């Protein structure tokens, strides 16, 4: 059963910022890059989480696991290069430099968020739902200030009725809360390590 537990805002704000950046940066990357590039670049989450775990917490990987990550990094580098080359056909969308920058910043933010979730569980002695209960409202509040600068609002009268129905049925806020609760549950119950989660 869920028992709410409060924590001081100053203790949870770094995690809330990481959560907000984990939403903003990947979405900005998608605005300036192809879906193919975005999906392939997200493969770098696993090596980035491994590197952050090593730098921040001195957690090491077996040598064979490190060797397995090398081809993934090379593959992402190749896709990044070829997908960002200008196309002769103007109708074909390519990835811009800004898309690459947002993608790599998003990978960094997502990896940091993944590593910190595990760390905050231990530091604050909270379960996933208690942690999410404290960080989600802060992250949502931060997103409210970012949205006007990074999103284009539609003309409300031009939005078809079926789109409004879809928006009402699948609210992004509800989806984020559900996915975050699932993410944290996976980290605590199944994975026990952020690197395992990023590989999933």
pTM: 0.71
- Output the pLDDT for position 152: 72
CB proximity list for 3: less than 8 A, separation 6 or greater: 130
| CB crowding 157-196: b at 16 or more within 10 Å, else e | eeeeeeeeeeeeeeeeeeebeeebbebbebbbeebebbbe
Q: Cβ(112)–Cβ(18) under 8 Å?
A: yes
- Output the pLDDT for position 87: 67
Q: What is the DSSP letter of 154?
A: P
Whole-angstrom Cα distance, residue 117 to residue 91? 41
- The confidence band for 118, taking pLDDT boundaries of 50, 70 and 90, is confident
Whole-angstrom Cα distance, residue 151 to residue 34? 18
Q: Is the pLDDT of residue 39 over 70?
A: yes
- The confidence band for 108, taking pLDDT boundaries of 50, 70 and 90, is very high
pLDDT tens digits for range 140-187 = 888 888 877 777 776 777 878 887 777 666 666 666 666 666 666 665
- The confidence band for 129, taking pLDDT boundaries of 50, 70 and 90, is confident
Whole-angstrom Cα distance, residue 193 to residue 119? 10
Dihedral sign for Cα 133, 178, 1, 194, please. Answer: negative
Q: Cβ(114)–Cβ(198) under 8 Å?
A: yes
Burial of 62 (0-12, 13-18, 19+ CB in 10 A): exposed
């Amino acid at each position: 059963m869920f028992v709410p537990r409060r924590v001081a805002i100053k203790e949870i704000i770094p995690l809330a910022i990481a959560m907000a950046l984990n939403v903003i940066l990947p979405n900005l990357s998608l605005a300036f890059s192809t879906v193919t590039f975005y999906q392939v670049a997200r493969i770098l989450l696993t090596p980035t989480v491994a590197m952050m775990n090593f730098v921040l917490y001195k957690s090491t990987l077996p040598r064979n696991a490190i060797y397995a990550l090398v081809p993934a990094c090379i593959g992402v580098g190749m896709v990044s290069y070829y997908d960002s080359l200008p196309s002769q056909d103007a109708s074909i969308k390519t990835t811009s430099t800004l898309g690459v920058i947002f993608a790599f910043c998003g990978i960094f933010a997502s990896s940091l968020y993944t590593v910190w979730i595990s760390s905050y569980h231990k530091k604050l002695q909270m379960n996933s739902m208690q942690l999410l209960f404290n960080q989600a409202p802060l992250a949502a509040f931060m997103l409210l200030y970012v949205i006007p600068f990074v999103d284009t609002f539609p003309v409300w009268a031009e939005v078809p009725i079926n789109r409004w129905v879809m928006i009402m049925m699948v609210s992004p806020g509800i989806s984020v809360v559900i996915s975050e609760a699932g993410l944290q549950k996976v980290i605590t119950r199944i994975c026990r390590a952020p690197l395992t989660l990023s590989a999933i």
